[in-house]
A and B are shown apart, each in its own frame.
Chain A
Amino acid sequence: MSNKDQFASRWGFLAAAIGMAVGTGNIWRFPRMAAQYGGGAFILAYTLALFLWSAPLLMAEMSIGRKTRRGPIGGFRDFVGRRHTWMGAWMVMVCMLITFYYSVVTGWCIKYFVLAMRGAFREGVDTAALWTSFLADPRQTIFFHFLAIGACGLIIYRGIKGGVERVTKLMVPALFVFLIVAALRAATLAGAGQGLTYMFVPDWSKLALPATWLQAFTQSAWSTGAGWGLMLTYAVYTSRKEDISQNCFTIGFGDQTAALLAGLAIIPTIFALSPSVEAANAAISTNNTGLTFISLARLFPKMPGGLYIAPVFFLAMVFAAFTSLIAQVEVGVRAFIDGGWSRKKSTLMVAGATFLLGLPSAIVPGVFDNQDWVWGVALLPSGFFVMMAARKFGAEKIRTELINPSADIRIGRWWNFVITYVSPLIFLFLLGWWFYRGIVDNPETWWKPFSRFTTGTIIFQWAILLVVLLLANRALARWTKGTPEEVD
């Protein structure tokens, strides 16, 4: 492995990994979830999820990547055995299927940053019409999708040190500064107090609802990138002396810090500037895009200094989305590099495929919704496969031979228990609850495989992917070439 394909410093790795974790979900989903599911009670459940799901999984992923020096496909083959290569391939495929439409999302953020720079969010502008007319214009959605994946491809093409590390070291600190600016502006608005109360004071009764725990754990899983294969891939480019436990907790807490900053920026703004509490609640109860591109865009003109805050907010969205997109594309690129391809050829292949296969989501909003519905949940089985890999390799062996020798903070036996028993039980609960709700809430239609938001479409599309990967397992095991490389 050339020096270009290694992180030059721990800061470089941390910036890339925090950028990987902090995405649009921190900004447009976490504040909504916190406000809807009990404020401080949700945040405490979300913090618990870091210890019981996200951080243990990130540590397991980083151990696989650092030991095998391969992406998820080769990593699972070498770490668990040839018969389990399909599990790593599942992680790569799910990550790529998300990347296809996430590039489209990144394009939306770029578009709204451009609109904010032009001062488009003026008093009286119909932001709902602005959003729907943008989505209905394929030339625009395709152009911004192309811009997002094109820029991402150029960065990855330049390698880890010269591309990914250099860019994320600038973008991630800038993202935090932008969120702090937006949070300070929001928290000092007249009437922000009600939003702060809504966001932070715990409503303990919400902890009795399974939905609160489901949302807290899935938010943590999606947000930190645990189980995506992203951490596993970035770990390939780290030194063997890199501290797994400390890095994983830094990334987890960094992700939560960004989410709380976003909450501080968004919820007080909505409560301070909405005409009524009902209107504020309606804005929070809408979906991710509705909150960001319609409700918030409508409120910026009412905010003193809103003309300047809007570009800052949407640039934060761009940076959050873009640094996550880089990590996702790298997962695909690494799979090809492991297959013996050059980085340049692999990048062209993955970026080109992302552009082409993202087109249906860019053109038809229904396809986007369906793909987000199906593959977002597929990250739960991805995480489960990492737990299975840890169990098969031996949790104690990972802890004593891979995590602790280079650890500043040594991990105790609790980690073995969590990764072997607690996290798998949480997985069963989360997935079981997700399917149960899907069936109970839609008793007549849940089974339909070609509907946008049914349990049937999830099962149908997962089954196709699973069958293909199981049939291709031998070929996938042969795909990874060469011997493991050392980076020390």
Chain B
Amino acid sequence: MSAITKKIDLTVLGYAVLATLLFSFLFFTQVGNRHLYVFLIGIGLGVSLYHASFGFTGGWRSFIEHRISSSLRAQIIMLGLAVILFSFFIGSNSWIYEGKMIGAVAPVSVSVVVGSFMFGLAMQLAGGCGSGTLFTASSGNGKMAITLVFFMIGSLVGTYHFDFWKSLPSFGGVSLMNEFGKVNSVFLQLSVLTLLYYFIYKSDQKRNVNFKHSDIFDFSNFDLFKGPWPLILGAVLLVFFNVLMLQAAGHPWGITFAFGLWAAKIVQFFGVEVSSWSFWQLSYPSTALENSLFADPTTVSNLGIIFGALAASALAGNFFKASLINKKILIAAILGGFFMGYGARLSFGCNVGALFSGIASGSLHGWVWFLFAFIGSMIGVRFRRVFYS
């Protein structure tokens, strides 16, 4: 236990609970029960992300700079679990609705290479990825709230340039499940993940004498309501909620499409004819733009994450802890947010929609995203020193 017991922030907790009740009622009565399930799953994701401090950015940076691998190993385990579980469900009928569930399979293209590289670099500048930006901004981190605003702007600009990026070479969507069959696809992906785990822990062990495999299983400071939760619990819960998302929404968890949609709705409100842009004439984006925001499942799950993280930070007594924002850090937040948003649109998602859900679905683009985002992060941690020194 920590020496100082932090008090629960009842005002913020009350706000989160009331908002959850209000939105639950609204989704159930005006949109549909599956949207309510997606919203509740989002709350579970928000609480898990916050209490396990599960983010990709810091974990990748720790490994790149110091070869500390705990977070990266938890991510590899998370991916392995997801690959196994998703293989049972993709293409099968949902438990919740009558229809088949589809995976997050997107094209392998030049735009994915450029976009994921850009995203990986930018997330190191911003200090948070797609999920990280959302849950930290929701828990009162002012810098990440600025990042989120520019994430939305970057995402919108990405949709404006959609024609150019679409014109670049692409192999189309490559589903490993379709190419090799489900069993072979799982075996292949687990083999790569095992090799990655081996390389990562060996690198850590070589550099850090105190290396322990068990560090991600450390429940010694575990507190269900206040946190922190061990990384392994975060990893398992994120897989669990992503499987539930697949069952309820019919597709895996994604985050960043909604950011572009929110920005598009705002500029449309001020008279910009977003609907004339080719991206917003595609089937789902055009539907989402014309429809209520509350009909978009990504928006609904993001709202759940916002309220989940809000409640978790209130329970932990950590809502709105003042963070140091100087001019340099502000520039890093703006640049990082903008280029994460732009990169996410080019690469069909972020660390969640493209990497986590993509790899879980057996999409080759998820692996390409992982590789180039990591290379981008390796350069990003160097740029980061300019802003955070």
Q: Do A and B come from one complex?
A: no
- Give the B-binding residues of A (Cβ under 8 A): none
